Amino acid sequence: MNPKLNVVPFVSVDHMMKLVLSIGIERFLLELCAYVEDDFRRWESFDKVARVAAHSPDGVIELMPTSDGAAYGFKYVNGHPKNTRDGRQTVTAFGVMADVANGYPVLLTEMTILTALRTAATSAVAARHLAPKGARTMAIIGNGAQAEFQALAMRALIGVDRLRLYDIDRAASEKCRLNLQGFGFDIAICEGTEEAVQGAEIVTTVTADKQCATILTDNLVGAGIHINAVGGDCPGKTELQAAILRRADIFVEYPPQTRIEGEIQQLSPDHPVTELWRVIVGEAQGRTDGRQITLFDSVGFATEDFSALRYVRDKLTGTAFYEELDLLADPDDPRDLFGMLLRAAA
């Protein structure tokens, strides 16, 4: 892929879906996991800043930027839980990758679907280092737009093949079960959180309401469980009872962001946490014994979006799953932008 100077490859929603299906959903997730983990391994090469957020009573709009010195990437993303009442997505997103050497964008893409994929891939990478060895059963509390992606990433990377689903809206669980038919899961729809977590080695919480909720209570968390807390991702939005956090070993992406947005916003600012990248590179321990409770307090970080943008750009080569946008002015003389404008009328 070597576009002309004035055009930028653009991946639409339709092209993203076709790209994913042409690769295969589970293969896409596996390969994306590798990119996510590779970028965690070179964590110290990235510029890091907590995302820039504009909060309102109805939701949040955020920009998530980072750079590794060679490429720059950012994502625009919103989170508006009430949107589903109007037939809209809770989360939508698009992203850009640019060449640091000249500042020109090299990719513009939808990231609503891609964010779901990269979030699931990050969860699976964390679980590979933190979940009990040989874990096969996962409870998913909250069966909305993210649930199937989480299940498939966990299956692809660590072999989870038994799902226990619960949502306050049973129709969401039925939707999830229907969508995952044919992927080799043993699926049970449960009547409550307590039933769902029974026998689960991994518990994923992925609800959408923008509030401090108690989706998972301390009495339901037994020894040896890995908790993948995905839904709490902005100030004032949590899913876990604080007592769980005090019993668990907590792993995070970028502490300055997670302390504001994650489950650990419920704790003191100096409560100990371990950065996931340190576990991945061997600087810190992850799971150390069978009775340990591990918690991945996942809020999503810009390096994960960078990994997803990098992966998609690499996979586009030789495909037809993009179009070229006439996005950048390209006058014959770089100093004569006004002349270019005048000549357009000729």
**Annotated catalytic residue within 39, 233, 297, 305:** 233
Q: Whose CA is closest to 172, among 79, 84, 112?
A: 84
Q: How many CA atoms lie within 13 A of 160 on its CB side?
A: 30
Q: Which amino acid is at 88?
A: R
- Rounded Cα distance between 221 and 225, Å, is 7
- Rounded Cα distance between 49 and 113, Å, is 24
Tokens of 200: 């689960």
Q: Which amino acid is at 208?
A: A
Assign 242 to helix, strand or coil.
Answer: helix
- Rounded Cα distance between 136 and 188, Å, is 14
Assign 213 to helix, strand or coil.
Answer: strand
Cβ count near 112 (within 10 Å): 16
Rounded to the nearest angstrom, the gap between the alpha carbon of residue 32 and the centroid of all alpha carbons in its chain is 11
* DSSP conformational letter for 50: P
Q: Whose CA is closest to 72, among 104, 42, 39, 25?
A: 104
Convert 215-239 to b/e letters by CB count within 10 Å (16 or more is b). Answer: bbeeebbeebbbbbbbbbbbeebbb
- The answer to whether 233 is a known catalytic residue is yes
Tokens of 12: 């639409």
Residues involved in catalysis: 233
